[in-house]
Structure 1
Amino acid sequence: MNELINTFSERKDELLTAIFEHLAISLSALLIAIVIAIPLAILLSQRKKLAEVVLQITSILQTIPSLALLGLLIPFVGIGTVPALIALVVYALLPIFQNTYIGLAEIDPSIEEAADAFGMSRMRKLMRVELPMAMPVIISGVRTALVLIIGTATLAALIGAGGLGTFILLGIDRNDPNLTLIGAISSALLAIIFSTLIRFLQNRSGKVTLVALGVICLSIGGIFFAQNNSIGSETVTIAGKLGSEPDILINMYKEVIKDEDSSINVELKPNFGKTSFLFSAVKSDQIDIYPEFTGTVLESLVKVPKSTPDDLSPEKTYQEANKLLDSQFDMRLLKPMDYENTYALAMKKSEAEKRGITKISQLQAQQDQLKAGFTLEFIDRQDGYRGIQDKYGVKLSSVQSMEPALRYQAINNGDVDVIDAYSTDSEIKQYDLVTLEDDLHLFPPYQGAPLMKKEFADEHPKVVKALNRLAGKITEDQMIEMNYLVNVKKEQPAKVAHDFLVKEKIIGEEK
């Protein structure tokens, strides 16, 4: 409990920002869903067959897994707040439309006849009789939708839309249950508070409830929009993948840029998501820079000519990656750092010694006895498990897909025997693991470097000059130690990044 309180105290400012982002996304989505669903239900209340069709469509939409829906939206609207809003609106439509339709359809026909007998017009009857009688059912649907939205909005963090999901993802990634609990508890409390608020308002007046919700949604949404569209000097947006290492690197990028020119505004978006999300964000100008690896560029992002050799040196890998990014996407990869964060297979040191396994090729003899926990990305990559099957002939008896941090917990608990890892992961040291020798050289060189559009690089020479200070810097041991400080010693990535840059005299001491 003390650790939870300490974590809350240290992160209260970040938590407040995340709560505000979460509310802005959730309430904006609710307002949009209300504007769509209620008028549509009113329009179709006298058209039963058509209403049934719409109910079926909204029901089907709600069965689509949220991650799948976000993945389907990214190619069309990019990443960030827009796809998150669309997904949340889709999930909110069913309860609001269904309850509005049912509330109107179940009004006693004798009351309808009485209204007609008094000579009420269609609109007057709707506003004075039907909606007031249906309002309790409608508001119930709004409450259900709001609770659903607030819970689902945690996934918005996966595509860079912020919110309380950032705490949950960060907690999972860094094996810190306190961060996960803070995010989960805060999300649950928001759902309870706003559900109670709607119920309180519902007892007063249905119209008052809808008006109050509209005012709250517009107020929070307006402030959120204003904060994210501030007028002034241009902002350089730097994002990072999930994990401590990208978080450290983007803080280094920010520090060297600010050291080069303090007038440049730099916004960081940590834990932004997977490789494909970040690459799409650069293409669509939603972010300007993110740290990428030379091997990942060749394996996942560009089309590599068949004539390209498989065993390129680190320097040749960088040159080829940069050339193909330029020709295919008009992008530029700056000069890489010294260390390589290449893929590796890892086992518990004690288990590897007991089985006599030091190389990947030795897995084949015991493949029927070994269970693996791999990330989804590793399972699907040619320089991952696909390549291990093709090049090494290794097909393990059980392969489970896991989030990056969970696979370390799994191997530490003995649930799996082999996991994929990155060569600079702090968990290798933390859990006493050993990486197996890639004796057939499957994994290409992976050197980290800033990736950006060529146009951005040409227009921001000071940014490029600043980032090039990191070229050829940071050894593998230094990166492992920095990851260890963040993941195990719980130091802040910004502090770790700053201390390293000062120690290595890449930036000056604080004035």
Structure 2
Amino acid sequence: MHNVISVLIKQRQQVVSALGQHVALSLISILIAIVIAVPLAIVLRRHKHLAEFCLQITGIFQTIPSLALLGLLIPFVGIGTTPSIIALVVYAIMPIFQDAYSGLTSIDNSLEEAGHAFGLSYWQRLWIYELPLAMPMIVSGIRIATVLVIGTATLAALIGAGGLGTYILLGIETNNNSLLIIGAVLSALLALVFSGVIKLISKLSLKKMVIALITLLVIICGGLGYHAYSSAQQAKNVVIAGKLGSEPDILIHMYKDLIHQQDPHQKITVKPNFGTTEFLINSLKSNRINIYPEFTGTVLESITKQPQLINRDPKVTYRIARDGLKRDFDMSYLKPMHYQNGYTLAVRKSFAEKYHLHTISDLKRIAPKLHAGFDPDFAKQRDGYPGVSKNYDLKFKYKTMSPAIRYKAIANDRVNIVDGYTTDPQIRQYHLQPLRDNHKFFPPYQGAPLMKQSFLSRHRSIKKALEKLSGHITDRQMQEMNYLVTIKHESAGKVARHYLLVHGLIKK
């Protein structure tokens, strides 16, 4: 609990920002769903077969996994807020439409006959008694949809839309339970608050409820207008984004400080934990971001998709990656840093001492005693266990598990060897011993700033600023910085600035 409070205090601005993003996503999605679902129920209440068909369609949408739906939307509407809202609206429509339709069609026929007898028009009947009688059911559907939307909105972080899901994903990625608890608890509290507010609103008269809804819509429209204006102003800024985790967060703050040192008047927006490689590269293509740190091995494996060209010489690998990005995407890949965030196999130091393990080749002597915990990607990809097994003539038992869980597993003696990255802070945290890749099997993974050539042409001074990092930062230095941010919960900006000052890359 102390750690949770400490993180909340240190990151209060980021937490408030994530909470605001989550509220905005959820509120906009719910209101759009209400505007679609309630009128649709009103129109179809006299058309039973058509209403049942629509219920089946919305039911089918409900069965589509949220991640799959987000993935399907990306080619059509890109990444970020838009696909997130579309997906959330799709999930919210069914409970609202279903309950609104049930409420409107369960009204006593004698009331309908009385309305006709008194000569009430269609709209008069709807306003005077149909909607008021159906309102408890409509509100019930809205409350169900609200809880569903707030929970599902956590996945919006996967495609760069922000929200509390950022803390949940980052907590899983970095094995930080404090971040995980903050994201999960705030999401649950938000659902309870929204549900309570809807319950209070339901006690208002229909007229007051409509006025409240219209007021809310006006406020949201004003907010969207302001957001559009802010985005237009922000478009003039240099936007630097990073993947999930402490290391990209540290690097993008280094980029920010270096650019400010070169040009103090340049406005910069930093977007940490923005998403995966796919989302970042697509954002770069669409000019939603301008710069992000990428690794040479990732460029060849996932972006230019030329794994057959990977060379074990870091300089050759960088040159192939740089030329491929220029050729395929007209992107500029600046000179890399010294350290490599490449794969490694690690064991506990006590285990290494017991069996005299120094290199991966040494594992062959004790292969029957090994039981490993591997990341699912490492377990199947060519530069992971299959390649290690072939290159070192080495076979042993393994289980796949998430990156955070595998470190917990070796710390608790559930496994005795894991894959990892050379700069992972857990190597220090759990006193692990990385084994030397004596056959030089693992490909180089050197990081460098990536941007579009058109952007670099307009900002020539940025290249000079960022290439000050070229050749700097050792594996041990990066691991130490990751440790300070991930384990000690220090600010990534503070850690990044300290490194730049100590090594004379910026001045106070």
Pair in the same fold by TM > 0.5: yes
Match of 2:487?
488
1:365-402 deviations in Å (ceiling 9; x for gaps): 76676444333443453322453455456565442231
Are the equivalent residues in 2 in contact too, given 1:28–1:218 (CA < 8 A)?
A: no
TM normalised by structure 1 equals 0.92
Give 1:246's match in structure 2, choosing from 248, 251, 257: 248
In the TM superposition, what is the alpha-carbon distance from 1:438 to its structure 2 partner? Answer: 2.9
User: Could you tell me how far apart the structure 2 residues matched to 1:291 and 1:259 are?
Assistant: 19
1:119-138 aligned within 5 A? 119-138=119-138
Match of 2:164?
164
C-alpha change, 1:141 and 1:275, in structure 2 (3 Å) is same
User: Could you tell me how far apart the structure 1 residues matched to 2:34 and 2:396 are?
Assistant: 50
TM normalised by structure 2 equals 0.92
User: Could you tell me how far apart the structure 2 residues matched to 1:203 and 1:143 are?
Assistant: 14
| Paired letter, 1:248 | I
User: Could you tell me how far apart the structure 2 residues matched to 1:298 and 1:43 are?
Assistant: 54
Match of 2:469?
470
| Paired letter, 1:36 | I
User: Could you tell me how far apart the structure 2 residues matched to 1:222 and 1:368 are?
Assistant: 66
Any idea what SS the aligned residue of 2:243 has? coil
| Farther-moved stretch of structure 1 (27-36 vs 277-286) | 277-286
User: Could you tell me how far apart the structure 1 residues matched to 2:36 and 2:400 are?
Assistant: 41
1:136-166 deviations in Å (ceiling 9; x for gaps): 1111111111111112212222222111222
Match of 1:274?
276
| Paired letter, 1:219 | I
1:333-344 aligned within 5 A? 333-344=333-344
Match of 1:193?
193
In the TM superposition, what is the alpha-carbon distance from 1:431 to its structure 2 partner? Answer: 0.6
User: Could you tell me how far apart the structure 1 residues matched to 2:498 and 2:271 are?
Assistant: 21
Any idea what SS the aligned residue of 1:399 has? strand
User: Could you tell me how far apart the structure 1 residues matched to 2:206 and 2:385 are?
Assistant: 57
User: Could you tell me how far apart the structure 1 residues matched to 2:225 and 2:134 are?
Assistant: 34
Match of 1:209?
209
Match of 1:235?
237
In the TM superposition, what is the alpha-carbon distance from 1:8 to its structure 2 partner? Answer: 2.3
| Paired letter, 1:251 | H
Pairwise CA RMSD: 2.4
User: Could you tell me how far apart the structure 1 residues matched to 2:224 and 2:385 are?
Assistant: 43
Any idea what SS the aligned residue of 1:506 has? coil
Match of 1:256?
258
Give 1:293's match in structure 2, choosing from 292, 295, 303: 295
1:318-363 deviations in Å (ceiling 9; x for gaps): 1110111111112121111111111112222333444565444565
Any idea what SS the aligned residue of 1:76 has? helix
Match of 2:460?
461
| Farther-moved stretch of structure 1 (169-178 vs 336-345) | 169-178
In the TM superposition, what is the alpha-carbon distance from 1:211 to its structure 2 partner? Answer: 4.1
C-alpha change, 1:221 and 1:363, in structure 2 (3 Å) is farther
Any idea what SS the aligned residue of 1:339 has? coil
Match of 1:427?
426
Structure 2 portions without partners, runs of 5+: none
Any idea what SS the aligned residue of 1:272 has? strand
C-alpha change, 1:136 and 1:301, in structure 2 (3 Å) is same
1:24-77 deviations in Å (ceiling 9; x for gaps): 111011111112211222222222222222222222222222222222222322
C-alpha change, 1:372 and 1:65, in structure 2 (3 Å) is farther
Identical-pair percentage: 52
| Farther-moved stretch of structure 1 (165-174 vs 42-51) | 165-174
Are the equivalent residues in 2 in contact too, given 1:73–1:83 (CA < 8 A)?
A: yes
User: Could you tell me how far apart the structure 1 residues matched to 2:222 and 2:385 are?
Assistant: 47
C-alpha change, 1:365 and 1:38, in structure 2 (3 Å) is farther
User: Could you tell me how far apart the structure 2 residues matched to 1:141 and 1:26 are?
Assistant: 15
User: Could you tell me how far apart the structure 1 residues matched to 2:445 and 2:437 are?
Assistant: 14
Match of 1:327?
327
| Paired letter, 1:448 | G
User: Could you tell me how far apart the structure 2 residues matched to 1:74 and 1:377 are?
Assistant: 23
User: Could you tell me how far apart the structure 1 residues matched to 2:307 and 2:168 are?
Assistant: 40
| Farther-moved stretch of structure 1 (310-319 vs 20-29) | 310-319
1:81-230 aligned within 5 A? 81-216=81-216, 218-220=218-220, 222-223=222-223, 226-227=226-227, 229-230=229-230
User: Could you tell me how far apart the structure 2 residues matched to 1:178 and 1:46 are?
Assistant: 52
Any idea what SS the aligned residue of 2:142 has? helix
1:95-149 deviations in Å (ceiling 9; x for gaps): 1111111111211122222223333333333333322221111111111111111
> Does 2:77 correspond to 1:77?
yes
C-alpha change, 1:401 and 1:87, in structure 2 (3 Å) is farther
| Farther-moved stretch of structure 1 (463-472 vs 120-129) | 120-129
**How many pairs align?**
506
User: Could you tell me how far apart the structure 1 residues matched to 2:466 and 2:385 are?
Assistant: 33
| Farther-moved stretch of structure 1 (217-226 vs 476-485) | 217-226
In the TM superposition, what is the alpha-carbon distance from 1:284 to its structure 2 partner? Answer: 2.2
User: Could you tell me how far apart the structure 1 residues matched to 2:380 and 2:10 are?
Assistant: 38
Any idea what SS the aligned residue of 1:508 has? coil
